Chains A and B, each alone.
Chain A
Amino acid sequence: SQQGEEDPQALSIQEGENATMNCSYKTSINNLQWYRQNSGRGLVHLILIRSNEREKHSGRLRVTLDTSKKSSSLLITASRAADTASYFCATDSNSGNTPLVFGKGTRLSVIA
């Protein structure tokens, strides 16, 4: 089954630095979505990138998608302490409107 797997599992950086998190998956997808989760809280939707897109921006977020390598990356520029959270990628199947398959997430700590 398809599966989003993020790396690294944990990342610790200083405020102001950029954070890059990677995600790999196994089968064909329609879309890939990134979510943030603060400890013990809900999932906040960050960005969706479609399979025919290669890059997408939203504020300080930049997402890339390489379908030939079945991988995506999430870049957070100029990180802030408030960016401290777990970040998950989630993939759907070829048809969309289908269940998301989540990876284990990357735990990002931004130190002020």
Chain B
Amino acid sequence: EPEVTQTPSHQVTQMGQEVILRCVPISNHLYFYWYRQILGQKVEFLVSFYNNEISEKSEIFDDQFSVERPDGSNFTLKIRSTKLEDSAMYFCASNLGGGDYEQYFGPGTRLTVT
């Protein structure tokens, strides 16, 4: 069964460093999302992407964040200068669209900023 994949599973970085989190959505899906979950808290929406552009973003998704779909399969989230409070689990999700609204999530990348 097709699934969303994410790499790496765990990323440790120093404060101020740039990180890129990678996702491969399900191949025929058209809508892509990034969410994050700080330990012990709710899953929070960051950004959605459709037709090669951002369709929605939350207040969390400030200028330090960017997303890209560099080719037909990858979907990346970049954090330019990480802060301690960026430590969280980051989930990528995708859905097919066209009335098919189930969002399927990847296994997540645990980002630890030290």
Which residues of A does B touch, CB under 8 Å? Answer: 30-31, 33, 35, 40-45, 48, 88, 90, 92, 96-105
Interface centre among A35, A41, A43, A44 (most CB of B within 10 A): A43
Q: Say whether B101 contacts A35, CB under 8 Å.
A: no
* Contact A88-B43, Cβ < 8 Å, known A98-B56, A99-B48, A99-B58: yes
* Contact A102-B91, Cβ < 8 Å, known A42-B106, A45-B105, A97-B50: no
User: How many angstroms from the CA of A101 to the CA of B48 in the assembled complex?
Assistant: 13
Decide yes or no whether B99 CB sits under 8 A from chain A: yes
Q: How near does chain A come to B55, taking the closest CB pair, in angstroms?
A: 8
Q: In residues 55-114 of chain B, which contact A (Cβ within 8 Å)?
A: 56, 58, 89, 91, 93, 95, 97, 99, 101-108, 110
* Contact A43-B43, Cβ < 8 Å, known A97-B50, A98-B56, A99-B56: yes
* Contact A43-B105, Cβ < 8 Å, known A97-B95, A98-B48, A100-B45: yes
Which residues of B does A touch, CB under 8 Å? Answer: 31, 33, 35, 41-45, 48, 50, 56, 58, 89, 91, 93, 95, 97, 99, 101-108, 110
Known: A42-B91, A100-B45. 15 other contacts (CB 8 A): A33-B101, A33-B103, A42-B106, A42-B108, A45-B103, A45-B105, A48-B101, A90-B43, A97-B31, A99-B58, A102-B42, A102-B43, A102-B44, A104-B41, A105-B42
